[in-house]
């Protein structure tokens, strides 16, 4: 065992701790509520095993409807060493030309293939996903969507159907686009006071008193006068079914329905892009600017007027015209939720996902979680996102103990850690650890709770090896070492723990390697051709919990 010498003086020994066998389990998180879009928005879930297998485990992955979504991998495989490391599966929405609306589908996790009888055939939970349509929508959904992507000509096509528009006056195709939309939105349309877009009347655009939502990106070049963004009225009349825009002066968000005008209180400044949304339902209108609800919150408004006239983008039947840029105008026949409005505004509305919460100990050979010691707790973000605000809370119903929330340390790789000092804690089997992750946008999510138990350390330490080897030979000038199975109580004088007899000894005893190794550092030669005895005092050699040494405690070696 000459290799032990190197372990004593250069490398700490790694001790593998084996717990008791556990039933097969496959953890999938999250397993429901995921969303993809036909524009390519992705979703992710994490999958890992809940217990260590005796052989590798492979799980095939497929999609129930490949016309709606695809996965980044066709299978995942876990070994006996990485069984508890989450593997991330990315789901991407598939575009189509059908008027199919939002379609629910599933990511199917097939029965596991493994030589481990517990895991062989184990069928994990499937993942439910919805793919949101972005082109043509069924009634009750998107009725008009003008992206202004043509860049040339006098037409503005409707991406949601057949409500195509015609440019009136001399609108200019522009390269100005909202930054959050990126190159995908280029170009936009510049209206300079005498210009607008007209869209012929259609049943789809006759909203009346139906719940509906109108959204648009605008960049005003002037705040003077009444600035209509979208309007619809009786043909040639000013009895508006809906007219929404920005009022004069303070440039507040405003809505006009019938002949009554109501206004919000959020200022829409000129010279920068804003995302504006008007949501109408239950005889009231709600405003949002740049994804933030207007402080007026809910403004009462009843009825819509006649609606057999054209839809005007950037104008109204009163002759008012918008001055500025307009892009990505949408009309929905339903009220959008705030989160949907925020998504359209380019805001981050997706919370982090806690893929797993783990714990580990290195203070006892049987792997128990000990009182009066330290338990390492870690959490992993499903996307490996760094810079999150991570915290955890530890509670015990039986003891009434609560710790936290306390901050976790960012590991820089999507993992977050905390060292839990269990000093003074009661022995209990119901400690629960819950982790919360919050991103810079304020989105937060709590991970699956981890349950663990604490126990008193009743395991006695043993001697794993000695250097020189027991019964072996050694040179006259060398250090002598004893490797224990765990960290020992270093408050005990090492000179009283071990005795080296049988010949001349010059040197001193020291604790080393996190107090798991005892070393006699020789300062002089040992006697030649002499058999030395090494004896460990079992009453003095004890671990940090006070358990005394058991097993073999006498050893010998002979010098050359």
| Closest of 332, 336, 219, 194 to residue 269, by C-alpha | 219
The predicted model scores a pTM of 0.52
Average pLDDT over residues 332-350: 81
- Greatest mean pLDDT among 29-33, 100-104, 363-367, 466-470 lies in 466-470
Q: At 510, is the secondary structure helix, strand, or coil?
A: strand
Tell whether omega for the bond before 405 is within 30 degrees of 0, i.e. cis: yes
Mean pLDDT of the chain: 81
34-37/127-132 β-pairing? parallel
Q: What is the pLDDT of residue 455?
A: 73
472-474/554-559 β-pairing? parallel
Confidence label for 352 from pLDDT (cuts 50, 70 and 90): confident
Confidence label for 358 from pLDDT (cuts 50, 70 and 90): confident
Whether 237 contacts 309, CB under 8 Å: yes
Q: Which helix (H) or strand (E) holds 431?
A: strand 431-438
Average pLDDT over residues 67-73: 91
Distance CA 463, CA 485 (A): 6
pLDDT at 297 over 60: no
**Residues in the chain, how many?**
560
pLDDT at 296 over 50: yes
Confidence label for 552 from pLDDT (cuts 50, 70 and 90): very high
Whether 134 contacts 175, CB under 8 Å: no
Distance CA 346, CA 348 (A): 7
Side-chain-side CA neighbours of 39 within 13 Å: the count stands at 12
| Closest of 123, 127, 133, 112 to residue 63, by C-alpha | 127
Q: What is the pLDDT of residue 384?
A: 77
Tell whether omega for the bond before 187 is within 30 degrees of 0, i.e. cis: yes
Tell me how far apart the 2 most distant CA atoms of the chain are, in Å: 118
Cα 306 to Cα 119, 163, 329, distances in angstroms: 66, 19, 22
Distance CA 434, CA 113 (A): 32
Residues 6+ apart with CB under 8 A from 491: none
Distance CA 239, CA 233 (A): 6
User: Each residue of 365-399: b (16+ CB within 10 Å) or e?
Assistant: bbbbbbbbbebebbbbbbbeeeebbbbbbbbbeee
163-167, 270-274, 394-398 — which is least confidently predicted? Answer: 394-398
pLDDT at 194 over 60: yes
**pLDDT single digits (tens) 521-534:** 988 889 999 999 99
pLDDT at 355 over 80: no
| Closest of 214, 204, 199, 202 to residue 281, by C-alpha | 214
pLDDT at 293 over 50: yes
Sign for the CA dihedral angle at 160, 166, 170, 173 comes to positive
Cα 216 to Cα 70, 187, 189, 327, 372, distances in angstroms: 31, 14, 12, 6, 61
Number of helices followed by number of strands (H, E) in the chain:
3, 44
Confidence label for 493 from pLDDT (cuts 50, 70 and 90): very high
pLDDT at 138 over 70: no
Residues 6+ apart with CB under 8 A from 422: 369, 370, 371, 372, 373, 374, 375, 454
Average pLDDT over residues 36-42: 69
135-149, 346-360, 446-460, 485-499 — which is least confidently predicted? Answer: 135-149
187-191, 204-208, 276-280 — which is least confidently predicted? Answer: 204-208
- Does residue 171 or residue 24 have the better pLDDT? 171
Average pLDDT over residues 248-276: 75
pLDDT at 5 over 80: no
Average pLDDT over residues 485-514: 91
In DSSP terms, 406 is beta-bridged to 392
Q: Is 410 exposed, middle or buried (0-12, 13-18, 19+ CB in 10 A)?
A: middle
pLDDT at 40 over 70: no
| Closest of 111, 118, 4, 122 to residue 60, by C-alpha | 111
Average pLDDT over residues 176-181: 76
Q: Which helix (H) or strand (E) holds 338?
A: helix 338-344
Whether 371 contacts 422, CB under 8 Å: yes
Q: What is the DSSP string of 175-244?
A: ----GGGGGGG--EEEEESS-EEEE---GGG--TTS-EEEEEEEEES---S-EEEEEEESTTSS-EEEEE
Distance CA 240, CA 315 (A): 12
219-223, 427-431, 433-437 — which is least confidently predicted? Answer: 427-431
User: Which domains does the chain show, CATH number per domain?
Assistant: 23-133 (2.60.40.2030), 142-333 (2.60.120.200), 352-459 (2.60.40.1930), 460-559 (2.60.40.1220)
Q: What is the pLDDT of residue 520?
A: 93
Whether 276 contacts 263, CB under 8 Å: no
Whether 449 contacts 357, CB under 8 Å: yes
Q: What is the pLDDT of residue 17?
A: 28
Q: What is the pLDDT of residue 287?
A: 84
């Amino acid at each position: 065992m000459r290799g032990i010498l190197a372990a004593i003086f250069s490398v700490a020994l790694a001790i593998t701790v084996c717990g008791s066998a556990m039933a097969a389990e496959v953890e999938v998180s999250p397993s429901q509520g995921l969303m993809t879009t036909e524009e390519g928005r992705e979703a992710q879930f994490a999958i890992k095993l809940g217990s260590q297998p005796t052989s590798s485990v492979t799980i095939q992955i497929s999609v129930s409807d490949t016309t709606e979504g695809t996965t980044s991998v066709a299978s995942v495989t876990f070994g006996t060493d990485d069984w508890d490391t989450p593997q991330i599966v990315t789901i991407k929405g598939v575009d189509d030309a059908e008027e199919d609306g939002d379609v629910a589908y599933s990511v199917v996790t097939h029965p596991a293939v493994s030589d481990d009888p517990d895991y062989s055939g184990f069928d994990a939970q499937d993942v439910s996903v919805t793919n949101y349509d972005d082109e043509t929508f069924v009634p009750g959904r998107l009725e008009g969507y003008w992206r202004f992507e043509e860049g040339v000509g006098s037409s503005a096509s409707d991406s949601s159907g057949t409500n195509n528009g015609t440019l009136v006056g001399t609108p200019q195709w522009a390269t100005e686009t909202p930054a959050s939309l990126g190159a995908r939105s280029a170009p936009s349309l510049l209206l300079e006071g005498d210009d607008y877009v007209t869209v012929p009347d259609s049943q789809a655009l006759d909203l009346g008193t139906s719940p509906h939502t109108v959204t648009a990106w605008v960049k005003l070049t002037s705040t003077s006068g009444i600035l209509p963004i979208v309007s619809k009225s009786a043909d040639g009349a000013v009895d508006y079914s809906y007219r929404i825009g920005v009022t004069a002066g303070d440039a507040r968000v405003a809505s006009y329905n019938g002949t009554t005008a109501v206004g919000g209180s959020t200022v829409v400044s000129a010279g920068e892009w804003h995302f504006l949304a008007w949501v109408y339902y239950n005889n009231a209108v709600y405003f949002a600017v740049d994804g933030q609800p207007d402080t007026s919150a809910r403004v009462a408004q009843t009825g819509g007027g006649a609606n057999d006239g054209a839809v005007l983008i950037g104008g109204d039947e009163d002759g008012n015209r918008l001055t500025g840029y307009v892009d990505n105008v949408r009309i929905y026949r339903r009220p959008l939720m705030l989160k949907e409005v925020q998504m359209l505004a380019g805001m981050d509305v997706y919370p982090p996902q806690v893929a797993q919460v783990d714990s580990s100990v290195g203070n006892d050979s049987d792997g128990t979680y000990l009182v009066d010691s330290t338990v390492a707790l870690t959490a992993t973000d499903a996307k490996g996102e760094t810079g999150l605000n991570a915290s955890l809370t530890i509670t015990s119903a039986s003891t009434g103990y609560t710790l936290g929330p306390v901050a976790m340390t960012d590991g820089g790789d999507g993992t977050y850690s905390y060292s839990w000092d269990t000093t003074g804690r009661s022995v209990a089997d119901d400690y629960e650890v819950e982790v919360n992750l919050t991103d810079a946008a304020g989105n937060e999510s709590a991970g699956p709770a981890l349950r663990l138990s604490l126990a008193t350390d009743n395991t006695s330490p043993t001697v794993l090896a000695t250097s020189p080897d027991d019964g072996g030979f050694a040179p006259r000038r060398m250090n002598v070492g004893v490797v224990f199975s765990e960290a020992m109580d270093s408050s005990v004088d090492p000179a009283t723990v071990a005795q080296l007899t049988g010949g001349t000894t010059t040197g001193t005893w020291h604790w080393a390697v996190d107090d798991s190794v005892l070393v006699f550092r020789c300062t002089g030669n040992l006697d030649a051709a002499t058999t030395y005895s090494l004896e460990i005092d079992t009453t003095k050699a004890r671990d940090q919990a006070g358990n005394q040494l058991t097993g073999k405690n006498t050893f010998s070696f002979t010098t050359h």
